[in-house]
Structure 1
Amino acid sequence: MVFLVMLVIAIAVVVLVMRAAATQGGNGNGGGGLRRPRPPRGPRPPQRPVAPDDDPDFLRELDRRTRRDDGSTPA
């Protein structure tokens, strides 16, 4: 008889722990359940370089270098 009571208590504890873990998961499906682990992310593809004529910082620096002291552009 004691074994049966202990078994019911153990099952109740397992059910409560599973529900608590499902609600803390925050997977957004609202129905609880277990989350599937995300596949590991691979390395990110390298950032594509910006062409100099598309880079505003480069154009600003080039404009600054080509200006003369009096503010006019070289001919």
Structure 2
Amino acid sequence: MGKLLLLLIVIAVVIYLVVRTVETRGHPFRRPPGRRPSGGGRGPSRPVAPDDDPEFLRDLNRRRKKRDPDSPE
């Protein structure tokens, strides 16, 4: 009975460590994001969100100034 309990504890600890590692580091067999094979035929990457794109923000600012010329900004 003692050997069975010890075996169950060891299995539980191993499962806990595996789950904890997968949660903190991500899936162990998945490639990390942003690492693509070279020569994929794509151009340079663009910002993902519009608020990360300086060109979008400049254009947005220009449109806002044209729409409201009396604004103090």
Q: Same fold (TM over 0.5)?
A: no
TM norm structure 1: 0.37
Structure ranking higher on relative contact order (CA contacts 8 Å, 6+ apart): 1
Larger radius of gyration: 1
TM norm structure 2: 0.38
